[in-house]
Amino acid sequence: MTSTKTTQTALITGASSGIGYELTKLFAGDGYNLVLIARSQSKLEEIASILTKEFSITVKVIAKDLSLATSPEEIWQELQSQGYTIDILVNNAGFGTYGLFLETQLQSELNMMQLNMVTLTHLTKLFLPEMVARQQGKILNIASTAAFQPGPLMAVYYASKAYVLSFSEALANELQNTGVSVTVLCPGPTESGFQAKANMENSKLFKNQPIMDASKVASIGYRALFNNKTVVISGWKNKLLALSIRFAPRNLVTKIVRNIQQEAQK
């Protein structure tokens, strides 16, 4: 579960809350130095202060809006200029939008696509070559159980997570025998700020479904990363759902997801 080297550095995006924050504690607990990225400078500095005192590691914080196309290159250039080596890349940052596609805001969805797909791909493109050159490194991408089927009322979000799953599986295959592994974590509904940001607190998905704790989801992903697993789905119910979808007609699956996504009766 843990690396034999504790002088390595892990870069974590979306590190200020939810699964990302829980991952910071897991890496810090195993002695990893950290580069933490999120939009809030104050939250990152608070987290860095706690982790450095408790675990005696070094933590660099970079406040960036990763929905901006320029951010990945700016991060990479800053770390290069300061001599950082990134041994583990965690692409955790992401968000969703909720509602009929006809009615949702275009700019919000463009920002989501940039963050969930393009930024993840761009950061991987920048940091992967050095990992391969060292014949050592790990990448953890956070997808979702949304990746396994279409998602009416969150059409673009579900499609973005399908991209993350497909990209990660393909990349893992390409990197066989290079010393670099790729793991994609697919959580189901998780206790975090995701549902509030997506304005879907009242959907059946979060009202009527079991919600996993972010720390448990992070722990599952962390173990899978160090066990070199390619795809990991958190929770046995989520695993069963993802498996059963393969055998159901697509139009039926889409109808079921639409029903689950709708607002619960008040």
Q: Residue 177 phi/psi, 5° resolution? A: 70, 15
**Set 25, 158, 161, 222: catalytic member:** 161
- Is the distance from CB of 70 to CB of 93 less than 8 angstroms? no
266 labelled catalytic: no
Residue 136 is encoded by which pair of tokens? 């050592």
- Is the distance from CB of 11 to CB of 89 less than 8 angstroms? yes
161 labelled catalytic: yes
Write the CB contacts of 207 (distance below 8 Å, at least 6 apart in sequence). 201, 264
- Is the distance from CB of 160 to CB of 142 less than 8 angstroms? no
Burial track 54-67 (b if 16+ CB lie within 10 A, e otherwise): ebebebbbbebebb
Q: Which of 94, 93, 82, 74 is nearest to 36 (CA)?
A: 93
**Set 21, 157, 158, 222: catalytic member:** 157
> What CA–CA distance (Å, rounded) separates 168 from 140?
9
The single-letter DSSP state of residue 265 is P
- Is the distance from CB of 174 to CB of 132 less than 8 angstroms? no
- Is the distance from CB of 93 to CB of 38 less than 8 angstroms? yes
Catalytic site residues? 157, 161
